[in-house]
Amino acid sequence: MTPGNSLSTFGAGKVILLGEHSVVYGHPALAGPLSQGVKARGVPAKKCQLVLPSTLNRAQRTLLQGAFARAAKLVGEPPVKVSLDPELPLAVGLGSSAALSVACARMLLLAAGKPPSPKEAARLAWAMEQEFHGTPSGVDHTTSAEEQLLLYRKQPGASSVGKGKTVDSPRALKVVVALAGERSPTKKTVAALRQRQARWPERYQRIFKEMGKLASEGAKAVEAGDLEALGDAMNVNQGLLSALGLSSTPLEEMVYRLRSLGALGAKLTGAGGDGGAVVGLFTDPEAAVVQLTRQGVRCFSSQLAGPRAL
């Protein structure tokens, strides 16, 4: 970087349409990038550094600093001062840590004079995500880095990242994301599910396998332009997530609220638990956003795939 210059990068949030949790156990998931995410701004500096957001607590600051340092080391710690501007609700199941990781990765690559290709951005972001989550599935940062609707799969137990196949849509694939309830910590929700599946493995593996089938069927529906079939798969997936003990009264109420507003399908997205994000598939989402906003619901719309209006 030359003095006086500044750089700006972006990392997209993500929404899982089909297959959260089962993706951890080796089954496919269908995930898409949101138009909302995290922006990073970089200015020349004497050393590589990150401006930590004032809203973070001490533990979060330490974790973020460690993740950034890990990624920076992989590109030679370029002399850049990075600040963050999150547009995304944090810690609600929309891939905020992955969006932050991809934004930082792209900034570090640019500052080091290297092209921020999706592959390279994903490589650095993966290092940060491992710091944040230990053993993530990789679906979040892969979707963010590729900025494509993906059918993603990772082999169970594999230390490397999985593979995502781009899913093209002949129709605009639009969703409404609405927040409901108070979200439980992801680690707590995931750990409780892991304990249940370890106690009754055959029963839970049947459900995970069915969720993987729904993700594959949903991808085919997208490619065929059959949004109604995709919506139905989302509704069935919600039933399976509820069966896994991952839903709650606030999430269920929001699911049915979105369906009543015309959603072709609606389900929780992310870890689930006591609250979090709910995603609804709409042919025209704006009327639903207006109505929900009037009712005090935090929500937004986004297009995940398909042709966009000029």
User: Which residues have a catalytic role annotated?
Assistant: 140
Q: CA-to-CA distance for 23 and 241, rounded, in angstroms?
A: 13
Return the DSSP state at 24: G
Pairing of strands 80-86, 49-50: parallel
Percent helix, strand and coil across the chain, each to the nearest 5? 45, 25, 35
Pairing of strands 29-44, 7-18: antiparallel
The per-residue b/e assignment along 86-118, b for 16 or more CB within 10 angstroms, e otherwise, is: bebbbebbbbbbbbbbbbbbbbbbbbbeeebeb
Q: 146 near 167, Cβ under 8 Å?
A: no
